[in-house]
Structure 1
Amino acid sequence: MFCCSIAIGQTKKGAITELADPKGWVIETRSSAYQLYINSSNSIRPVFYGSREQAEQQKKNAQWFDGIEEVPVRGNFPFKTPALEVIYADNVRDAELEYVKGEVIDIEGRQTLKITQKDKYYPLEVTSYIRVLPEFDILEKWMVVKNTGTKGNIKIENAQSGSIVLPADEYMLTHLAGKQMNEFQQQQTLLTPGLKVIQSKAFKANFNPPWFMVRPQNAAKDAGPAWFGSLHYSGNWDLTFDKSIDGNVQILGGINFWDSAWQLVPGASFETPKLSVGYTNDGPDGAAQNMAAYARKTILPARHRNDLRPVLYNNWEATFYAVNEDQQLELAKKAKDIGIELFVIDDGWFKGRTSSTTGLGDWEVDKTKFPNGLGPMIKKINDMGMDFGIWIEPESLVPAAEVYKNHPDWVFDMPPNRTLPITRRYLNLAKEDVYQHLLEVLSKLLAENNIKFIKWDQNSYLSETGWKSAPVEIQREVRIRFMKNVYRLVDELKKRFPNVWFESCASGGGRVDLGMLSRMDQAWVSDDTSPLDRIYMQYGYLWALPANTMVSWVTGNAVHQSTSLDFKFDVSMAGVLAVGDDLRKWNSGDMATAAKKIAEYKVIRPLVQQGTVYHLVSPFEENRSALQYSDATTRSAVICYNMAEYLMGSQYGSRQASTLKLKGLKADQAYIIQKIEERDKPGTTYKGAYLMNIGIEWPVKGANKSQILLVTPKQ
């Protein structure tokens, strides 16, 4: 490792300081410092990423190390994981980048370090960007790869969004994994020498969303260093953790180029999606809070970014495909009576849709089910005081659909006409005529009807991605082009219809990432609506994303589970509350309970959707769980759950603590604690220090029970 002298000159430009000797930059956020150095070989090297205090000490000790490149490429010694792999026109596969220039620019009001490098021998230019969001302790990294030549293509075989290197230590990786009906399960593993790869190859991420957190193995549970990150991409992606034998950990993230490649013709560029990375000294909750605030305040679509998400009703579990106007209006009247604000018709409203094998792809209103169209029904629902929403699955179709019969060339194919045993097929959205068709039919639907909400679903895994009509050299671009046009389609629809809310859905939580959430206002977490299962999924989800994107339905009893309606509502109130049961089967007591719980939710909705989340008790560690939501005044709502009875007595003592400790309060402030259903009563007063350090008695008794507490600073 090469070490050089202390910097003797510097120019500070806000969060980015330019160093004169040695040449380089220090990028600072509220808690972190990221140091880059231009070595004697004119190569950019990241030499430190961590706490600002450690960075200061490092400068004092002159510990500037010559490690992995800022953009590691395929070439030279293979002791790294490359972020960029190309093949030149003469079939040379190694690249060697050298520094050209660096400048601090402004991108959307944020300081950004722009570094340009070029290959020493070939017409390849690589521009990497580091955009600084100091208040969230987050850096956004991405790069643009350009063929600057006049003849000959450059083939990209891998182009990651960014790479960071952690100091040598023993590290624990936390990520989320699972499957359809069981998403967002918290996973932890020790990073040992070698590679750990988390990836998606199926165009959906029910198995694992593109988020991570890495902490020293010996770090305190609720405090200390945490590196975290998330990828802005909804197609195939990967996150790689490469631990060297010396203990350093290189982390990379970007598009997964499995079965993909990209041809750069002369003059053309390829831009990667963003990788957001961060560092905090405040432990796991600090990482989660930074990521949630960052997503809530800068990523979510600006039009509804600061709006409270409405309480919605979805008709799917009540009527499935057999929908009609009278039936939906009957449900709407009941929905209005319990306090619903948005009424959504799911699958079954469009032409010929009577089962999973019919109609999908023909996005016209079924005149048999709705002879008057949707307009009169929507007006009646609006007159009840509710907005109207609808379900679509634009990227898919079934062989029985008219669009399939009329345009078989629009469908992915893999000669010789192999077909997997699935009911749905994918439209090849890489094709411009497919994009234009979907834009036209969806624009027509929204223009002709007062639709204020779209649930955008995708229920298939991308398969058989043949594109035989395209030139051979670009056929392996199809997965990337497909995703670009999905984004383009949503963007154009939002431009044309700016007041429409969008919800991302993909067989549950298959498209819950910052790339999609920069376009969608909220997300469906899972097709599993069991409250017991949802406690685990929602606890995991809130490590990575904000609560105002986490949609949770109250539905009928899950298989082998029987829980109260109160419990179901309390679980669903942890995010964006929704109801999906058949209200026609609810008795008067059920309706009264629902109305009461929805009214309670509206009391805590600003805290839940816009507050700071604290993970108090993990269901992955105990048979209970608790989440705290706080605003800037430290007013809080705390939701507590029991998943099982505690075994008590001399022989079976409880292994869990019997108290509830809160977080983030002011130690000297007095707080009033109330049960939400007793919010008109005086409550009990405690000092913040007592609530955080001693705690109160655990407020829930019995299995499958819950309690919501209000915590209010005393005036």
Structure 2
Amino acid sequence: MKRTRATGWIFSTALFFLAQGARAQTVTIPVETRNNALVFQADANRNVGIVYMGARLQDKNEYALATGMYKQTSDYSGVANAAYATSGTRNLFEPALSVTHVDGNNSLDLQYVRHESKQLDNNTSLLSIYLKDPVYNFEVTLFCKSWFNEDVTEQWSEIKHNEKGKVTLHKYASAGLYLKASSYWLRQYHGDWAREMQPEEAKLTHGIKTVDSKLGTRANLFQPSVFMVSLDKPATEDEGTVLYGALEWSGNFRVDLELDNRDNLRIMAGINNYASPYTLQPGEVFTTPAFLSVLSTKGKGAASRQLHNWARNYKILDGKGTRLTLLNNWEATYFDFNENKLKELLKDTRKLGVDLFLLDDGWFANKYPRNNDNAGLGDWGENKKKLPNGIATLVQEAQQNQVKFGIWVEPEMVNPKSELYEQHPDWVVKQVSRPEHYFRNQLVLDLSNPAVQDFVFGVVDNLFTKNPALAYIKWDCNAVIYNAHAAKLGNQSHFYVQYVQGLYNVLKRLRAKYPTVPMMLCSGGGGRVDYAALQYFTEFWPSDNTDPLERIFMQWEYSYFYPSVSMSAHVTDWGKQPIKFRTDVAMMGKLGFDIVVSHLKEKDLQFCQEALKTYESLKPVIWQGDQYRLQSPADHDVASLLYLNEARSRGVVFNYLVNNRYEAGSVLPIRLKGLDAKKRYTLKEVNVFPGTSSGIDSSKSYSGEFLMTVGFNPDVKQGRNSVVIEIKAVD
């Protein structure tokens, strides 16, 4: 047989693996955090599997003994617990990676070569596991980054090859997990506009449960990419073993949860391979997004607090910093405003007592004025009729009123009725030969095109160049992708992936030039939030539904995965509740207002002004404190939630009546959590409406033990449907 360069590589690689095989032995690779362990193992045949995921053991040697304690059906393949399952060889279940090689072969067998661990700092470690196919010049590196104190891990992979041509990746998940328990309970979410984060929980049955999105943008609109899996029984706030999972990716995602014939659960998460086979050139590295997970053996509350700490310290932009309270003009004016009307609103901003005025949609476009959502999107020049002196005059007016100025943009989108659409039809995502189909009367710009990336960057950059004092950006994204086609993209199957990569390129450029400017991540509500995007944004908009009763339920579910410092919550005219109820609910996140200040009654305005002062005092606890969910709105007449500082010396409890049936209220005391049992605490009602008094005696003190064992009754009832209590330790 004539020996080619390719066969020479195969021959030399085969010799390498034979030599390795002669001395192969089991290699156990634990990733340990303060409370947990994820343990990989390379067996004698160099198959890398997951042999343990659970509470950390004191003796590391015992991890290798765990699988022997399970007397289950034989693993026919020998790779059922694969850390990164492949297709075309022995794997009998859903693969993480599926490829077609240059010669048309569809098989892949990734075998252990070596691993290395690095201590990145005193809290963060990085494990790299190197895998290689013994037949094809194809390699994968598995990464597992762990944060010791927070019990959080991120997993991702790097895929590359040096074959003599293009290799096609048909599926390319970020990572896989392998769990053993008697049963598994999935808590997932669904929704639509104004109905985000609706929870469902069910026992997983045999086969595959897939949670995914094919929307391209606003990827979380119907199904968010976050989930929980409880082991053995549904976890509660304080009991049970539960795994949180989240993919850090702002486009199409896919999570497969497969219960196999041995009653073990395989979880794989990554970019959705729907309509996206990816062609990989020789030497090119494809890096998957990170899959985030946190495991708790003490219930859902402990998992969320660990995740919140990690997010504030390591992921969310300026997660330990402050935020700006604001007044938004949207519900006061919608598209109908002019310079004089906005100047009056700027005076109201100062009068109310917030930090910033936010100018929303409708300030731009001239040939096709942005007077409704049918036109103008993409034409980012100030509308000369509405704003004859431009944005600069409003920024100056804000400074004169001693407030800051922010502005709304939606730079990824375009209306067909716009100059941009007329001038650059090849920048628009659409099928040329098919009728256009619109979402909110708009289409999506092709961010896989570098010229479009430059344009989108320029939209924001130009605003800052012309207005250096601009202090805030609300970045919206209202459309999904129909008729996916990119005019300038050679391989259309790369579009969904390269769109998101293009978005990140723009955001990286903006943050390199404007590293500290606060930006809100909005997507017609909560249609896009994830931890990849939150690296570039200080906060996100959970929903356009600002009815405070609805928001209690939504923010409750969001709070499992995202801390309050990242969650924008505005007081609006949605709902039938009084201004106190609306303000109290919004104070659980990053407070803002979207109301007509001049229409407020005297006492309502006085209440808002005083509440803002109270919020200024309490926001360090709300934003940076530990969150304890005391009573769920889904299961009780009264919803109750506590924020507590690290020293356990100060906290705030929000209590809301969520059931209007006869005599509904806080009949029983509400048990607090997280306090120091030996300390004594006073409880004082705050946000008391002008002209009313509180029945809570703030001069009394209670032991932490009493408040956590017996509890405290905030006396929530009809006519007293929102009660906020500040807790302070007695010196």
- Please report the TM-score for the alignment, with normalisation by the length of structure 1: 0.92
Question: What is the distance in 1 between the residues matched to 2:188 and 2:699?
Answer: 39
User: Structure 1 stretch 201-210 or stretch 229-238: which is displaced more?
Assistant: 201-210
Question: What is the distance in 2 between the residues matched to 1:286 and 1:478?
Answer: 39
The answer to whether 1:160 aligns with 2:178 is no
User: Which of 479, 487, 490 pairs up with 2:496?
Assistant: 479
Tell me the alpha carbon deviations over residues 279-312 of structure 1, each in whole angstroms, 9 at most, x when there is no partner: 12221001111111111110012xx332221111
- Answer whether contact 1:114 1:130 (CA < 8 A) is retained: yes
Deviation at 1:219, TM superposition (A): 6.0
Q: Using a 3 Å threshold, how does the CA distance of structure 1 residues 53 and 626 change in structure 2: closer, same or farther?
A: same
- Answer whether contact 1:143 1:162 (CA < 8 A) is retained: yes
Deviation at 1:492, TM superposition (A): 0.6
- Answer whether contact 2:249 2:289 (CA < 8 A) is retained: yes
- Answer whether contact 2:429 2:481 (CA < 8 A) is retained: no
Pairwise mapping of residues 440-589 of structure 1 onto structure 2 (< 5 A)? 440-449=458-467, 450-471=469-490, 474-558=491-575, 562-589=576-603
The answer to whether 1:208 aligns with 2:223 is yes
- Answer whether contact 2:327 2:593 (CA < 8 A) is retained: yes
- Answer whether contact 1:341 1:386 (CA < 8 A) is retained: yes
SS of corresponding position for 1:369 = coil
SS of corresponding position for 1:578 = strand
- Answer whether contact 1:147 1:153 (CA < 8 A) is retained: no
Question: What is the distance in 1 between the residues matched to 2:59 and 2:249?
Answer: 31
Equivalent position of 1:425 in the other structure: 443
Equivalent position of 1:386 in the other structure: 403
Equivalent position of 1:668 in the other structure: 678
Tell me the alpha carbon deviations over residues 174-228 of structure 1, each in whole angstroms, 9 at most, x when there is no partner: 2232211011122211111111111111132122321122112436632232211
Equivalent position of 2:210 in the other structure: 197
Deviation at 1:80, TM superposition (A): 2.3
| Partner amino acid, structure 1, of 2:450 | E
- Answer whether contact 2:683 2:697 (CA < 8 A) is retained: no
Pairwise mapping of residues 221-370 of structure 1 onto structure 2 (< 5 A)? 221=236, 222-301=238-317, 304-351=318-365, 352-370=369-387
Q: Using a 3 Å threshold, how does the CA distance of structure 1 residues 590 and 268 change in structure 2: closer, same or farther?
A: same
SS of corresponding position for 1:333 = helix
Equivalent position of 1:35 in the other structure: 39
Deviation at 1:698, TM superposition (A): 4.0
Question: What is the distance in 2 between the residues matched to 1:569 and 1:213?
Answer: 30
Question: What is the distance in 1 between the residues matched to 2:515 and 2:337?
Answer: 28
Tell me the alpha carbon deviations over residues 475-527 of structure 1, each in whole angstroms, 9 at most, x when there is no partner: 11011111111111111112112231111000100011111111111000101
| Partner amino acid, structure 2, of 1:72 | A
Tell me, which stretches of 5 or more residues in structure 2 are unaligned? 1-23, 71-77, 689-693
Deviation at 1:703, TM superposition (A): 6.6
Equivalent position of 1:131 in the other structure: 145
Instruction: Number of aligned residue pairs: give it.
Output: 683
- Answer whether contact 1:232 1:275 (CA < 8 A) is retained: yes
Equivalent position of 1:7 in the other structure: none
Deviation at 1:415, TM superposition (A): 3.8
- Answer whether contact 2:52 2:63 (CA < 8 A) is retained: no
User: Which of 406, 414, 420 pairs up with 2:423?
Assistant: 406
SS of corresponding position for 1:183 = coil
Aligned residues with identical type, % of pairs = 29
User: Structure 1 stretch 693-702 or stretch 482-491: which is displaced more?
Assistant: 693-702
| Partner amino acid, structure 2, of 1:459 | N
Deviation at 1:272, TM superposition (A): 0.5
- Answer whether contact 1:68 1:80 (CA < 8 A) is retained: no
Deviation at 1:623, TM superposition (A): 2.7
| Partner amino acid, structure 1, of 2:52 | F
Equivalent position of 2:3 in the other structure: none
User: Structure 1 stretch 365-374 or stretch 121-130: which is displaced more?
Assistant: 365-374
The answer to whether 1:631 aligns with 2:645 is yes
For the aligned residue pairs, the C-alpha RMSD in angstroms reads 2.1
Deviation at 1:637, TM superposition (A): 0.4
SS of corresponding position for 1:136 = coil
User: Which of 64, 67, 73 pairs up with 2:86?
Assistant: 73
Question: What is the distance in 1 between the residues matched to 2:614 and 2:200?
Answer: 33
Question: What is the distance in 2 between the residues matched to 1:345 and 1:597?
Answer: 23
User: Structure 1 stretch 678-687 or stretch 400-409: which is displaced more?
Assistant: 678-687
- Answer whether contact 2:666 2:715 (CA < 8 A) is retained: no
Question: What is the distance in 2 between the residues matched to 1:609 and 1:683?
Answer: 27
Equivalent position of 1:44 in the other structure: 48
SS of corresponding position for 1:601 = helix
User: Structure 1 stretch 637-646 or stretch 65-74: which is displaced more?
Assistant: 65-74
Q: Using a 3 Å threshold, how does the CA distance of structure 1 residues 220 and 54 change in structure 2: closer, same or farther?
A: farther
Question: What is the distance in 1 between the residues matched to 2:606 and 2:247?
Answer: 43
Q: Using a 3 Å threshold, how does the CA distance of structure 1 residues 87 and 511 change in structure 2: closer, same or farther?
A: same
SS of corresponding position for 2:312 = helix
Pairwise mapping of residues 50-69 of structure 1 onto structure 2 (< 5 A)? 50-53=54-57, 58-59=62-63, 61=65, 63=67, 67-69=80-82
Deviation at 1:58, TM superposition (A): 4.5
SS of corresponding position for 1:40 = coil
SS of corresponding position for 2:591 = strand
- Answer whether contact 2:666 2:713 (CA < 8 A) is retained: no
Tell me, which stretches of 5 or more residues in structure 1 are unaligned? 1-19, 649-653
- Answer whether contact 1:612 1:629 (CA < 8 A) is retained: yes
SS of corresponding position for 1:428 = coil
- Answer whether contact 2:39 2:63 (CA < 8 A) is retained: no
Question: What is the distance in 2 between the residues matched to 1:237 and 1:199?
Answer: 5
Question: What is the distance in 2 between the residues matched to 1:613 and 1:446?
Answer: 36
- Answer whether contact 2:477 2:522 (CA < 8 A) is retained: yes
SS of corresponding position for 2:158 = strand
- Please report the TM-score for the alignment, with normalisation by the length of structure 2: 0.90
Question: What is the distance in 2 between the residues matched to 1:107 and 1:477?
Answer: 33
Q: Using a 3 Å threshold, how does the CA distance of structure 1 residues 148 and 55 change in structure 2: closer, same or farther?
A: farther
- Answer whether contact 2:156 2:289 (CA < 8 A) is retained: yes
Q: Using a 3 Å threshold, how does the CA distance of structure 1 residues 220 and 542 change in structure 2: closer, same or farther?
A: closer
The answer to whether 1:709 aligns with 2:725 is yes
Deviation at 1:443, TM superposition (A): 1.1
Tell me the alpha carbon deviations over residues 138-163 of structure 1, each in whole angstroms, 9 at most, x when there is no partner: 111000101222x2101111111111
Deviation at 1:262, TM superposition (A): 1.2
Q: Using a 3 Å threshold, how does the CA distance of structure 1 residues 148 and 492 change in structure 2: closer, same or farther?
A: same
Equivalent position of 1:11 in the other structure: none
User: Structure 1 stretch 510-519 or stretch 697-706: which is displaced more?
Assistant: 697-706
| Partner amino acid, structure 2, of 1:127 | T
